[in-house]
Structure 1
Amino acid sequence: MTRQWMKVIELIEVPADDVVAVQAGDRELAIYGVDGEVFATDNICTHGHARLCDGFVEGHEIECPLHQGRFDIRSGKAMCEPLAADIRTYPVKIEDGSVYVDI
């Protein structure tokens, strides 16, 4: 399977212990900076049509701003109700100060 790495943001623009939305082709992704690492997920909650970039990062979890469901940003796993479905995650690599996501 061929990887499709897309440059989405400069590393310096990734907030520490927070989240920012980026456009990657026709997808809107949430990019997280946590403990010096960068993670990427879809930006829309699987429970309600809420943008995760408007939520709250606590450790390796993002809390949806709509119904307070939480996802593990490393695996995409839905951590509590009302979430019933995991969120999609994407591989990330850092090269030359830029963040690339395998879409």
Structure 2
Amino acid sequence: MSWTLACSAADLEEDQPYSADVDGELVALVSTEGELFAIRDRCSHRDVMLSLGDVEDCTLECVAHGSRFDLRTGEALDLPATQPVPVYPVKREGDDVYVDLDNPITQES
């Protein structure tokens, strides 16, 4: 795995998406239900930043049309989005949060 520093753990608040530029890729980081998640910060339907949306029940809602994405799999759960969004392995080490963009998590993982 290829871990890249995404942000400080202090930047993350429970159920508040945080947008981080990780090697030129915008990633929405979410701390919810005691876990950390990393998902591409772009809706697959309208290319809107997902980090502007709300977190509920381990999903992130797009502010444009209300499509929700599963933070564990990236699956689009509501129309109009039909395509998944990549999710990435994420870990906390001390005060830092790291993301592995090279190994996206697939629904088969």
TM-score (norm 1): 0.94
Kept in 2, the 8 Å contact 1:76–1:88? The answer is yes
How high is the sequence identity, in percent, across the aligned residues?
32
Say if 2:15 is the partner of 1:17: yes
Question: Which portions of structure 1, spanning 4 or more consecutive aligned residues, are displaced by more than 4 angstroms?
Answer: none
- Gapped runs of 5+ residues in structure 1? none
| Larger strand fraction of residues | 1
Match of 1:75 in 2: 73
Q: Kindly report which structure 2 residues correspond to 1:18-33, keeping only aligned pairs within 5 A, or say none.
A: 18-33=16-31
How many angstroms apart in 2 are the aligned matches of 1:96 and 1:66?
35
| 1:25 partner letter | D
- Gapped runs of 5+ residues in structure 2? 102-109
Per the TM alignment, residue 92 of structure 1 is displaced from its structure 2 partner at its CA by: 0.6
Kept in 2, the 8 Å contact 1:17–1:59? The answer is no
How many angstroms apart in 2 are the aligned matches of 1:44 and 1:10?
21
How many angstroms apart in 2 are the aligned matches of 1:95 and 1:15?
17
Across the aligned residues of Structure 1 and Structure 2, the Cα RMSD in angstroms comes to 0.8
How many angstroms apart in 1 are the aligned matches of 2:26 and 2:69?
17
Match of 1:48 in 2: 46
Q: Deviations over 1:27-79 (max 9, x none)?
A: 00000010221100000100002100111111201110001000001111110
